[in-house]
Every structure is written in C-alpha cells, then in structure tokens.
Amino acid sequence: MTTTVPLEWVLVLAAALFCAGVYGVLSRRNGIAALMGIELMLNAVNINLVAFWRYLEPEAATGQAFALFVYAVAVAEAAVGLALIIAIWRTRDTVVLEDLDLLKG
C-alpha cells in the first residue's frame, strides 16, 4: 500500500470526507442528521491519524492509540448528543434545529 498509494491520496480523501461532514452539520435541519455529519468528520480525522501512523511511524503505536481515543470521544459525543435530541423531542416535540430558539432574544 505505502509504495503504490501515496500518502497524499489518503489525505485528500480524508479532507473530502471532512468537508462532506461540515456540509452536513451546517445544512441539515434534523438534529440527528447533523450528528451524522459530525460522525463523518470524526471518521475523516481517524483516517488521517491512521494514515500518518502507517506512512511515518509504523513502529510506534501512538497513531493507532490516538485513533482509539478519538473513538472514545466519538462514542461519548454520539450517546450524549442523541440523548439530548430525544430529551428535546420529549419536551418540545421537534427535532428541527431551527425550532430550538428558547435562548433567542
């Protein structure tokens, strides 16, 4: 892989995936769909971490370890985020992010 596929290919793919996630977060009305965009962005970061580990420091384990920490944070974020959306749906009967304007002056 490392001799035939240059590192830049992987980085460009991860950048494209990240930008797709950014678009999802900014453009979605449904809160759950916006969370899916965040998951895509975290995936892109993980691809970068693993690619740099493989291409620059395959003997060290830190690249993979950081990817595992990103997983832990991603799982915590997904659990709390979805719980928040369910709680909001219970009290306000909506998952549309624009309708959540209680703090708007």
Partner 1 sequence: MTIEQGLFIAFGAITLGAALLVVTRRNVFHAALFLILSCFGVAGLYVLLEAPFLAAVQLFIYVGGISTLIIFSITLTRDGVNSNIAGRNRQWWAAALVAVALFGALGGVLGWMVLNHDWGAAPGPVPEHSTAILGTTLMNPEGLALPFVVASVLLLVALIGAVTIARER
Q: Which of residues 25-44 bind partner 1 (CB under 8 A)?
A: 26-30, 32-33, 35-37, 39-40, 43
Instruction: Report the alpha-carbon distance of residue 77 to residue 23 in Å, rounded.
Output: 19
Whole-number minimum distance, CB 78 to partner 1, in Å? 5
**How many residues belong to the chain?**
105
Q: Nearer to partner 1 by C-beta: 4 or 105?
A: 4
**How far apart are the C-alpha atoms of 91 and 10, rounded to whole Å?**
44
Cβ-based neighbours of 41, under 8 Å, separated by 6 or more? 17, 18, 21, 22, 25
Binding to partner 1 in span 47-76, by CB under 8 A: 47, 50-51, 53-62, 64-65, 67-69, 71-76
| Residue 79 sits in the site that holds partner 1 (CB under 8 A) | yes
Does 92 bind partner 1 (CB under 8 A)? Our answer is no
State the minimum distance, in angstroms, from the CB of residue 7 to partner 1. 7
Please state, in angstroms and as integers, the Cα–Cα distance from residue 17 to each residue in 2, 5, 14, 33, 48, following that order: 21, 18, 5, 15, 11
Structural contact between residues 70 and 47, judged by C-beta atoms closer than 8 angstroms: no
Smallest gap from residue 104 Cβ to partner 1 (A): 15
> Shortest approach of partner 1 to residue 105 CB, angstroms?
20
